A and B are shown apart, each in its own frame.
Chain A
Amino acid sequence: MKKQSDFVHPYIPNSVPAVKARMMKEIGIKSIEELYEDIPEPLRLGRELNLPNALGSECELKRHVEGILAKNRACNEMISFLGGGCWGHYVPAVCDEINQRSEFLTAYAGEPYEDHGRFQTLFEYESLMAELLEVDVVNVPTFDWCQAASTSLRMAERITGRGEVLVIDTIGPDRLWAVKNYCLPNVKVTLVRHCPDTGRMDLDDLKAKLSPEVAGVYFENPSFLGFIEDQGQVISRMAHANGTLSIVGVDPISLGVMIPPSRYGADIVCGDIQPLGIHMNYGGALAGFIGTRDEEKFVMEFPSRLFGITKTCVEGEYGFGDVAYDRTSFGVREKGKEFVGTAAALWGITAAVYLSLMGSKGMRDLGQHVLQKAQYAMKKLSAVKGVKAPRFAAAHFKEFVVDFNDTGKSVAQINKMLLDRGIFGGKDLSGDFAELGQSALYCVTETHTQQDIDQLVRVLCECL
């Protein structure tokens, strides 16, 4: 092992002993230890950290990390029908080209001068999403759908001054957990039942629970279980009559063919942009959006950065900046709206590229293809003995519940058999949605070929 004093690492230019010595001399110290004068002895580690030997050369490092990663078998090596919060849509090459650029990747919090490009791109992201959602305000991305839904509900709390929210009980289970964490103890979270046959919200239950304390009612389209909630207009009307806001979580990639929630009365829309040109990354590349009308009482309740367009001192030049910065915790700490910090901007940039490439025609083509493929898959799967798809009597977009109860096998057993044949079956719902018994959530996108689906059906026929 080299002595500490000989240590020169490519990432640390001033570790060169002569440079170090020159700098120390200028500061007037004999040892770097002197710089730590404020750290008392009892707090000193006093030994070297116990970490594996360094792999200082890139060559060794690459071999080591790739060696570990090689143990993964990824979706591109299989046929995958997994969805449920992270989806395998096609990522156009230009999306990766742009988000891997040093300029975007390594920029951070520059002023709207030297980082004009960051501001313009994120303004364009907000604007493109706004067209998709038909709203006038969209935030710079937050962490993910969990956070977007949580914040939407807390915004409703502040806008209405009420302390309870109603949430559809088919919400993604992780999302519900995150929402409860974020709302309690300030805001009570009450579940609204769905109709067991269609999946739709049980309007009698909604009516019973719409008390004067209810700030917002939240549902999803398509739902976590894939079916489409087509009573949006009625739900929003019931909410509004009660002084309650209508809040909808939506899959943005469905909006080339499905109407946006603002058209059926949603006051706040939210969701995840991961489908829009962002790889799955083991669920580690999520980014949440929130959209509203352009009303002061809504805008002032956003915790997020909102980049706006303005002018400069030069005629005809666009400038950008933060809208109503003083509502944020950056401006006024705990007096601000919730909190703001580094979140997921690069994915917003990526989604802007994606929507610019797709255009309205691309979004429509994609939506139509997904609908066709999912319908084809449901039809073919239903022909397999003991299998029923979809479980709910409703229209679906890209996901649907496959009911395996009559096969006499568990989803775990079925997925194991599929795995052995190169297929990731749908997500097992028997834990989170026990009332569905042995059922699984399948996802089909434009990346699936007819052959992929036929292969799934063939294997199921063999195994069941």
Chain B
Amino acid sequence: MEPTARYKLRENFHQAKWDEPIIFELHTPGERGVLVPEAEPEVVATVGDGLSALPDNMIRKQPPALPEISQMRVLKHYLRLSQQCLGADLNIDIGQGTCTVKYNPKINKMLSASAKVTELHPWQDPSTTQGAMEIMYRLDSFLQEISGMSRFSLQPSSGSAAILIMAYIVEAYHRSRGEADQRDEIITTIFSHPSDAAAAAVKGYKVITLYPAKNGLVKVEALKAAVSNRTAALFITNPEDTGIFNPQIREFTDIIHKAGGLCGYDQANTNGILGITRAREAGFDMCFFNLHKTFSAPHGCGGPASGAVGVVDNLIDFLPVPIVGFDGKEYFLDYDLPQTIGKTRGFYGVFPAIIRAYAWIMSLGAAGLKETAQIAVLNNNYLLENIRKIRGAASPYSAGKHRIEQVRYSWEQLTEDTGVTTEDVTRRMADFGFHLWSSHHPFVVPQPFTIEPTESYSKDELDEYLAGLRKVVQEAYDNPEKVKNAPYNSVVHKIDHSTLDDPEKWAITWRAYLKKHRKSDRQD
């Protein structure tokens, strides 16, 4: 069969718009959404109403003001709200660079929804959780091979939590050598994720942020100037959020090591280098992956996230506990790490994401992982080639060279020419069924946007997205007001943000909204 119709910009798109009330507005006194079983007569005969056993001052006499709504209406409400979201299953979700929004295979969802997963309790006898631990142990071994690290903990609640764990390990490591007080600085770069700076600061570190030279990369000299006997560690992404791979990364890690520091690799941006290059060869002591990005667990509207932090041999003893061990016959939860930093969250990790990551790797194998990386990079450079040609758009830094898995672009020229900003473009893109994100702050690249196509989207889909960008840019030059006042075909219209930064007006809950904005029609 010959290829037929190609892409088409969805000029007639309109997102679902249900004009759905707030859940409290659906309250009908007496309606029930679910019923709870009643205690058996013999139980009641034995203990009475149960409530009387509570101290009188602990009994809630005024019930919580939760709405009362019948089951189908609750279902309908949340289904309608769900339709007012554009997940990766619906849109060409390449506009959220740094976040690796790829396909989350349905089979993996099915597997993680098995009662053999969902109904497991973490304190069960280990003889009854052998399957769970086997998957964790095997995923650990896969990640070891992918990174070259020696052991992984799957405990991190997210990528940011993994950064925090790296900071804990850095602190414990230097403490074990009597240098914790002296080594109080962590170095990072402005194109590493905000949490590389922020989570390090939580642990009390002074953060030194290095800025790039003209080629988009931090100069070796700048790093050397920042390093001293106060250096505890370097936390860095590579490729950085610009999609540029730092070819001098080994020099960076050597410089840090020579100064007595540790090197922690933020591998949130790893999708384009799977099977190509690894943390070990670049000289890192630690790294982490985001199972909800690279390894296909879904983003879930902003979590559950899941991280995996790996270390080289001499840091294994510092990992959070427990890790999963295997004695040749049985899997077990291993708490026996003499210098462990201990716990950072409840239990062992985000198990549903662990199942999905395991299944994803098993589906692809070594050749598939490499193909994932190569196609992600091919897709990215295909977009780069085309976006560079769009009037008003640019890809600062590294001119004439290729990028890895994403690019941080700029609308600076467009803004200068038309007054249309990156925020305006993101809003207008929604009218064609697209999501486009600006970028992490601060906007070192003016009027930024970051696109990461991953391996999941077809050429036709990439072309459709490009057509969207071209269309909005054309409008910006022809009729900038149209773009500035967008969206028109999304769920809602241009939002008034002024109340959200004003303590007198912001309303983070419905009850606060009623108090501040609807004093007159509040019914108590």
Q: Smallest CB–CB gap between B25 and chain A, Å?
A: 10
In the complex, chain A residues whose CB is within 8 Å of the CB of B86: 103, 107, 110, 114-115
A181 within 8 A of B: yes
Which residue of chain B has its CB nearest to the CB of A259? B60
Are A319's CB and B495's CB within 8 A? yes
A190 within 8 A of B: no
How large, as a class, is the contact surface on chain B? 35 or more
Of the candidates B81, B401, B455, the one having the most CB atoms from chain A within 10 angstroms of its own CB is B81
Are B111's CB and A122's CB within 8 A? no
In the complex, chain A residues whose CB is within 8 Å of the CB of B197: 329, 333-334
How large, as a class, is the contact surface on chain A? 35 or more
Q: Smallest CB–CB gap between A447 and chain B, Å?
A: 8
State whether A342 and B292 are in contact (beta carbons under 8 Å apart), knowing that A49-B370, A65-B111, A72-B120 are contacts in the complex: yes
What mask results when residues 105 to 140 of chain A are scored 1 for a CB within 8 Å of chain B, else 0? 111111111111110111110111011101011101
A336 within 8 A of B: yes
Are B107's CB and A366's CB within 8 A? no
Q: How far is the CA of A100 from the CA of B91 in the complex (A)?
A: 17
Are A312's CB and B204's CB within 8 A? no
A218 within 8 A of B: no
Of the candidates A108, A128, A312, A329, the one having the most CB atoms from chain B within 10 angstroms of its own CB is A108
B67 within 8 A of A: yes
In the complex, chain B residues whose CB is within 8 Å of the CB of A85: 122, 346-347
Which residue of chain B has its CB nearest to the CB of A280? B121
Are B492's CB and A61's CB within 8 A? no
Q: Smallest CB–CB gap between B189 and chain A, Å?
A: 11
What mask results when residues 72 to 109 of chain A are scored 1 for a CB within 8 Å of chain B, else 0? 11111110101011101010101011111111111111
What mask results when residues 9 to 51 of chain A are scored 1 for a CB within 8 Å of chain B, else 0? 1011111000110111011110010111111101111001111
Which residue of chain B has its CB nearest to the CB of A19? B459
Are B57's CB and A27's CB within 8 A? no
Are A312's CB and B495's CB within 8 A? yes
Are B507's CB and A309's CB within 8 A? yes
In the complex, chain B residues whose CB is within 8 Å of the CB of A56: 363-365, 368
In the complex, chain A residues whose CB is within 8 Å of the CB of B498: 310
Of the candidates A78, A109, A332, A338, the one having the most CB atoms from chain B within 10 angstroms of its own CB is A109
Q: Smallest CB–CB gap between B59 and chain A, Å?
A: 7
Q: Smallest CB–CB gap between B298 and chain A, Å?
A: 5
B323 within 8 A of A: no
Are B350's CB and A101's CB within 8 A? no
B430 within 8 A of A: yes
Are B124's CB and A424's CB within 8 A? yes
Are A313's CB and B362's CB within 8 A? no
In the complex, chain B residues whose CB is within 8 Å of the CB of A241: none
A419 within 8 A of B: yes
Q: Smallest CB–CB gap between A312 and chain B, Å?
A: 4
A70 within 8 A of B: yes
In the complex, chain A residues whose CB is within 8 Å of the CB of B129: 72, 282
Of the candidates B15, B82, B85, the one having the most CB atoms from chain A within 10 angstroms of its own CB is B85
Q: Smallest CB–CB gap between B464 and chain A, Å?
A: 13
State whether A353 and B87 are in contact (beta carbons under 8 Å apart), knowing that A23-B382, A36-B276 are contacts in the complex: no
Are A72's CB and B492's CB within 8 A? no
Q: Smallest CB–CB gap between B45 and chain A, Å?
A: 10
A64 within 8 A of B: yes
In the complex, chain A residues whose CB is within 8 Å of the CB of B325: none
A230 within 8 A of B: yes
What mask results when residues 302 to 336 of chain A are scored 1 for a CB within 8 Å of chain B, else 0? 00011111111110011111111110011111101
Which residue of chain B has its CB nearest to the CB of A57? B363
B332 within 8 A of A: no
Of the candidates A115, A318, A326, the one having the most CB atoms from chain B within 10 angstroms of its own CB is A115
Q: How far is the CA of A102 from the CA of B87 in the complex (A)?
A: 7
Are B300's CB and A38's CB within 8 A? no
State whether A358 and B200 are in contact (beta carbons under 8 Å apart), knowing that A45-B281, A329-B194 are contacts in the complex: no
In the complex, chain A residues whose CB is within 8 Å of the CB of B77: 356
Which residue of chain A has its CB nearest to the CB of B361? A51
A457 within 8 A of B: no
B408 within 8 A of A: no
Q: How far is the CA of A29 from the CA of B34 in the complex (A)?
A: 60
Q: How far is the CA of A370 from the CA of B53 in the complex (A)?
A: 12
Stretch of B226-234, B373-381, B472-480 on the interface side:
B373-381
In the complex, chain B residues whose CB is within 8 Å of the CB of A1: 367
Stretch of B257-265, B308-316, B337-345, B410-418 on the interface side:
B337-345
State whether A308 and B385 are in contact (beta carbons under 8 Å apart), knowing that A39-B247, A66-B114, A347-B304 are contacts in the complex: no
Are A371's CB and B54's CB within 8 A? yes
B44 within 8 A of A: yes
What mask results when residues 132 to 161 of chain B are scored 1 for a CB within 8 Å of chain A, else 0? 101100000010011000000000011111
Q: How far is the CA of A3 from the CA of B309 in the complex (A)?
A: 32
Q: How far is the CA of A145 from the CA of B510 in the complex (A)?
A: 24
Which residue of chain A has its CB nearest to the CB of B199? A339
B212 within 8 A of A: no
Which residue of chain A has its CB nearest to the CB of B501? A324
A260 within 8 A of B: yes
Are B493's CB and A38's CB within 8 A? no
Q: How far is the CA of A131 from the CA of B62 in the complex (A)?
A: 11
Are A450's CB and B119's CB within 8 A? no
Q: Smallest CB–CB gap between A77 and chain B, Å?
A: 8
Which residue of chain A has its CB nearest to the CB of B377? A35
Q: How far is the CA of A329 from the CA of B192 in the complex (A)?
A: 13
Q: Smallest CB–CB gap between B252 and chain A, Å?
A: 12
Q: Smallest CB–CB gap between B287 and chain A, Å?
A: 14
Q: Smallest CB–CB gap between B41 and chain A, Å?
A: 9
What mask results when residues 381 to 406 of chain B are scored 1 for a CB within 8 Å of chain A, else 0? 11001000000000000000110100
A433 within 8 A of B: no
A415 within 8 A of B: yes
Are A114's CB and B507's CB within 8 A? no
State whether A353 and B51 are in contact (beta carbons under 8 Å apart), knowing that A333-B194, A450-B43 are contacts in the complex: no
B421 within 8 A of A: no
Are A111's CB and B50's CB within 8 A? no
Which residue of chain A has its CB nearest to the CB of B127? A419
Are A124's CB and B345's CB within 8 A? no
Are B71's CB and A357's CB within 8 A? yes
State whether A284 and B352 are in contact (beta carbons under 8 Å apart), knowing that A75-B124, A345-B301 are contacts in the complex: yes
B99 within 8 A of A: yes
| The one of B79, B382, B487, B511 that contacts A113, using a Cβ cutoff of 8 Å | B487
Q: How far is the CA of A112 from the CA of B497 in the complex (A)?
A: 11
B445 within 8 A of A: no
| The one of A23, A113, A138 that contacts B509, using a Cβ cutoff of 8 Å | A138
B46 within 8 A of A: yes
What mask results when residues 292 to 304 of chain B are scored 1 for a CB within 8 Å of chain A, else 0? 1000101111111
State whether A11 and B103 are in contact (beta carbons under 8 Å apart), knowing that A54-B365, A134-B64 are contacts in the complex: yes
Q: How far is the CA of A120 from the CA of B171 in the complex (A)?
A: 40
Q: Smallest CB–CB gap between A429 and chain B, Å?
A: 11
In the complex, chain B residues whose CB is within 8 Å of the CB of A317: 19, 492-493
Are B107's CB and A58's CB within 8 A? yes
Of the candidates B31, B46, B250, the one having the most CB atoms from chain A within 10 angstroms of its own CB is B46
Are B116's CB and A424's CB within 8 A? no
A360 within 8 A of B: yes
Are B132's CB and A282's CB within 8 A? yes
Q: How far is the CA of A306 from the CA of B83 in the complex (A)?
A: 22
Are A14's CB and B494's CB within 8 A? no
A204 within 8 A of B: no
**Pairs A–B under 8 Å by Cβ, sample size 29:** A28-B385, A34-B402, A51-B145, A101-B79, A101-B82, A103-B86, A106-B104, A108-B93, A109-B96, A114-B86, A115-B84, A120-B20, A127-B511, A131-B66, A144-B346, A145-B346, A280-B122, A283-B347, A317-B19, A317-B492, A319-B492, A323-B500, A339-B202, A342-B158, A342-B160, A345-B301, A356-B33, A372-B43, A395-B55
9 interchain residue pairs of minimum CB distance: A54-B365, A284-B351, A283-B347, A283-B122, A117-B84, A106-B87, A357-B33, A371-B50, A346-B300
Given contacts A110-B435, A314-B492, 11 further A-B contacts (CB under 8 A): A54-B364, A74-B118, A103-B83, A126-B508, A178-B344, A310-B499, A333-B207, A346-B304, A361-B68, A364-B60, A446-B37
